[in-house]
A and B are shown apart, each in its own frame.
Chain A
Amino acid sequence: MRSICFYFQVHQPMRLRSYRFFDIGEKHDYFDDLNNAQIMRKVAQKNYLPMNSLLLDLIHEYGSAFKVSFSISGTALDQFEAYAPDVLESFKRLAETGQVEFLAETYSHSLSALKSKQEFTSQVKEQAAKIESLFGQRPSTFRNTELIYSDEIGALVADLGYDVMLTEGAKHVMGWRSPNYLYTNAINPKLKLLLKNFQLSDDIAFRFSQQSWKEWPLTTEKFVGWLNQINPKEEVINLFMDYETFGEHQWAETGIFDFMKALPARVFSHSDFTFNTPLELGQTLQAVAPIHVPYPISWADEERDLTAWLGNELQDEAFDKLYALEEKVRQCDDPQIHHDWLYLQTSDHFYYMCTKWFSDGDVHKYFNPYGTPYEAFINYMNVLSDFIIRVEKNTTYGKDIAGQIKETAVKLAEKTGQLAKRKAKQASASVKKTVDKSKDIKFDDIKNLSNAAVKKLIHEVDVETLGIALKDAESEITGKILPNLGKRAKKQYEDLQTEMKKVSKSDINKYRREVESKLQKLFKKK
């Protein structure tokens, strides 16, 4: 019993509009809605809708014997929701059959695995949640953007709880080994790896309509014949390809739909192969060995490396400047910024900046809205420059609010403290003053005494003493005492004043001191 595992990649980027230098700081709509909608409608008509209905028919015809798997990027799902709800519906109908597995990937089909664990993790979670909400199944198989894989990325994916991951059966990694077995990650053997059989996959995806190919035209007889030639011990043939192969890269006129329609019947009648999903294979197959991939591989081009997206100075500059923002974006509270942040990470933006096909890039031109990689770079950097301004503003804004609150709190605390200190100081000063006053209270201080105190004094000092002491005293002092004298004492005092003609200064002072000592005795604080 051997398996065929079909995995189809469904992805559409959010293409940028032509964003000019003058738009920087002025306009924040980056995406070409009209163009994106048109492309989505075109691909929906030529590819998604007819192929989905073909697959649905096959599943209805063969039941659980025919299975496929899909990975659909978040940016594609968002565009289905916006421009092609009919396509989304048809995927839901496929999901309902139970014969279709949906895989997890990064939400925006990004290269985040190469740059940031945190960003990668959050995008995978967001994508998985979206798949679950739309198709009612939580993905347990992972495939990274463009099948990019390394030991480290695999270990990271295993940490996220995925059991199976798909990648390329790149020649330089496989050496003499066959991709037609289940392998494991070199760091964490819990993660099972399914490797693309690029020979047979590309026979369908790339060579199907190539008339210069010696095997053209490709028939199901021929294809199943090749499957039967494979060593019977080999367990799984992984046919991984872009879903857009059907009707978009290979037009309907090439017969690609007829081929796919007829393939299962031929497989069932002329071979012992079955169709299985990655999840099933991870559970049923025994892994044969770990695969060591120290440097990232992908499914792109002859090199099977990252040079389609990263490596030239344009790509590296754009990529580094974008991810330099990661921390700041995380601090932003504007949902639109997070939205744009995701869409700006889509790998296609960097693919457009690739210079390696500049001379002969006809195949790639098909996917590229820009005339040259330089235009792609400038347009992207213009958008990114505006995005940076927004992020800076938003984060600074956030900082300001927090800063202001903090500042106010500090100020308030300071003020309260100062106030308290001042009050305490005042209080202690007034206490001290009173104490001081009572300690060396002087005759002159009588003018500051309250009437009650004056009365108390009068009570203690006889009128004669008082009369002499008050001789030639300041009017303020006499004015304080006289009103407080009783009628009799007043008379006595006045008599005394008329009797007293000449009193020596020293006598007056002597009597004043006597009053003073009385005062000090009277008002001394304990």
Chain B
Amino acid sequence: MRVLMFGWEFPPHITGGLGTACYGITKGLVKQGTEVIFVVPKAYGDEDTKAAQIKSASEVPFDLKDEEYKEYWSKIKYLEVGSNIIPYVSPEEFSRNMEKNVKTGVEFKSNVFSKYYKFSGKYTSNLMEEVARYALIASALSLKEDYDVIHAHDWLTYPAGIAAKQSSGKKLVVHMHATEFDRTGGNVNQQVYEIERQGMEVADSVITVSDLTRNLVIEKYGIDPAKVITIHNAVDQNYRKKAQHIKKNYDEKLVTFLGRITFQKGPEYFIEAANKVLKKDPKVRFAMAGSGDMLVKMIKHVARLKIADKFHFTGFLEGNDVDHIFAMSDVFVMPSVSEPFGIVPLEAMRSNVPVIISKQSGVAEILHHALKIDFWDIDAMADSIYGLCHYEGLSKMFRKYGKQEVENLKWEDAAKKIINVYQNLLIR
């Protein structure tokens, strides 16, 4: 079986959950013997480059830790389409960034506190136009390819998926990693909503990453429940253990938040809980890792609470730095207001870090060895943090069983279920 996959972000530059999930699914699929044509948007910043580049998988700078998958690389065909579209961005933010970029003529610099993407001036600064342009190129490109099924991840690639379906007549699977409701907290952009709805309408099957998302898709988008199936995400088992010997050089316990600092992730609740804990016990430190449109507000908030000597901002982290901060952490907190799934707590548990997750997350459906709280319940959050920091019996248990638990969440198993979805479509 061959899958035409419209995905996001391949290693070594993965900046968020969507990229991680696409990569995990692809690896799981190829391990099951499925072939994948992986198409991603990418800005080259180079005016002379062709609209798209076909690269053999061996040319893609895969992470070296993935030795295990080397033998499957031949099953992946990797296509890059020149485009500015990037994951995790709203249309408003997109045009703001683009206009700034065009005006100043300089590429966004990446610094410790923020992660910027490369933008190229030759593409439009309107995200919707850019999505349409990407769909056109991608589908044209896909005409030259031979495949059995199309799989598109999140709304930005749905138009490409729809176009490919229309031109090839193949079955389309769309994968909902997040909805517009999750990203905006209800302040929905109608255009985005419409693309999501249309994608799911046209699709032959819709995969949601949790029952939470499945219900939302059925209720708010009116999608036929019969074609919506939940397949929970997993976590990469091929984990680098190198960082585990890293020890922090201070006595305080470290409690970590890692994620985009946006409304969706509930950073302010984490800060409020930190403040409560610090009032009772100054022997705890907090770190907020990540970047986002609420970063500045959060920095000010921490300064106003006068806890900035115990509450640290690390800026955007990737690769080794993520392993590093997990190795130092005693507790990980994901206070998301709305989280379709949430892979990061699994990564924390894999690194032996006990986790506190919000009940409003998809991952809460499958995890047993995690403390679950309502995102708004900062008292419960503070209690849980304090407990995991001080009651060794509790944290020991969570470390031990949590690790065992995540070791059974394999991408191969998720991929098997996805292949099942494909096969059901092909039989029909």
Contacts and interface: CB of A to CB of B under 8 A. Distances in A.
For the complex of A and B, list the 10 residue pairs with the smallest distance between their C-beta atoms, beginning with the closest: A25-B249, A317-B303, A21-B314, A313-B303, A25-B250, A313-B304, A381-B308, A314-B303, A21-B312, A321-B309
Instruction: Name which of A18, A317, A372 has the most chain B CB atoms within 10 A of its CB.
Output: A317
Interface stretch (B179-187, B293-301, B375-383): B293-301
Contacts of A320: 306
Given A25-B248, A25-B250, A377 B309 contact: no
Contact of B295 (A20, A25, A321, A374): A374
B112 interface: yes
Interface string B239-280: 000000000111000000000000000000000000000000
B207 interface: no
A381 B312 contact: yes
Contacts of B296: 372, 374
Contacts of A318: 303, 308
B365 interface: no
A374 B302 CA distance: 12
A159 interface: no
B112 A375 contact: yes
A22 B112 contact: no
Contacts of B88: none
B115 to A, nearest CB: 14
**B interface, over-half SS:** mixed
A372 B295 CA distance: 12
Measured as residues with beta carbon below 8 angstroms from the partner, the interface class of chain B is 20 to 34
Interface of A: 18, 20-22, 24-26, 313-314, 316-318, 320-321, 371-372, 374-375, 377-378, 381-382, 384-385, 388-389
Contacts of B248: 25
Given A20-B315, A372-B113, 9 more contacts: A21-B287, A21-B313, A22-B325, A26-B249, A313-B304, A317-B306, A374-B295, A378-B315, A384-B309
A377 B299 CA distance: 9
A99 to B, nearest CB: 48
A316 B303 contact: yes
B313 A378 contact: yes
Interface in B89-137: 111-113
A314 B299 contact: yes
A106 B9 CA distance: 53
Nearest to A322: B309
B307 to A, nearest CB: 8
Contacts of B287: 21
A24 B306 contact: no
B219 interface: no
A377 B310 CA distance: 14
A22 B300 CA distance: 21
B249 A382 contact: no
B299 A374 contact: yes
Contact of B113 (A26, A316, A317, A374): A374
Given A313-B304, A317-B303, A377-B303, A24 B312 contact: yes
Contacts of A371: 111
16 contacts: A21-B315, A24-B249, A25-B248, A314-B299, A314-B300, A316-B303, A317-B308, A318-B308, A321-B308, A374-B113, A377-B299, A377-B303, A378-B299, A378-B313, A385-B312, A388-B309
B309 A378 contact: no
Given A24-B250, A382-B312, A375 B111 contact: yes
